[in-house]
Amino acid sequence: MFVSQFDEGVFERILAPMKGKFVAYYRVSTAKQGINGLGMDAQRNAVMNYLNGGNWKLIADFAEVETGKRSDRQELAKAVALCRKEQATLLIAKLDRLARNAAFLLNLRDSGVDFIAVDMPYADKFTVGIMALVAEKERDMISQRTKDGLAAAKRRGTKLGNPRPTEAVKRAVKANIGRADTYAANLVPVIQEIQKAHVSSLRGIAQCLNARGFKTPNGKAFAAQSVKNILDRQTGKG
């Protein structure tokens, strides 16, 4: 089987014991996974398992939570800057999470630092460049499909955009506002009576209204916020 010099270099990098200095970069796409969540822990474990053996030093790690669509990653920029300063290799735990972001891939390729993706250790600058082109092409195709779909809908006579509310809807909204204003006007004297009994907090007023059997316009028990809404409506703030 023919193996090129490129392939030999890749296999040597994968199989050889790690040595030198490294800076790790972790990323999760949602706050739910979080900096201290399971997603980040899994990436840290993957990096440490990859470095296991050899003479290496992990001088720093950087982590951030943000969507894959964004390219202005401050923590990644810090990691790249430190790699340049320390002549270290950048370790990316999960390149496949970022493989559809052309801006990220191109910035990584052109960063001027050596990098290793733990989940794709065979990836080099050439591979990342191709991935960036594919990601950019996919983004353009999605955009074009969206435009074609809108054009086809328009040809079928479908009205695009947010439709204007009908007169019936406007009348219904106006009626609801009127009922809410009337309800508030009728309830304010009751609230004032409660306040005269030295109950001044919104929570306390809500408890008194509930004890007397009053309900909000939606038929629910009163809370501090619903009392505030009633008062604000009467003072013109609601």
Residues with active-site annotation: 29
CB contact at 8 A, 22 and 88: yes
Cβ contacts of 113 within 8 Å, gap of 6 or more: 80, 83, 84, 88, 89, 90
Token pair, residue 107, equals 């910035």
Q: Identify the DSSP state of 95.
A: S
- In the sheet with 55-65, reading across from the earlier edge strand, the strands are 55-65, 19-28, 89-92, 115-117
Cα separation, 75 vs 54, whole angstroms: 27
End-to-end Cα spacing for the chain:
77
Token pair, residue 176, equals 């609801």
Token pair, residue 35, equals 């900096």
Cβ contacts of 77 within 8 Å, gap of 6 or more: none
By DSSP bridging, strand 19-28 and strand 89-92 are parallel
Report the SS3 class of residue 26: strand
The residue type of 192 is: Q
Q: Within the chain, what is the greatest distance between any pair of CA atoms?
A: 94
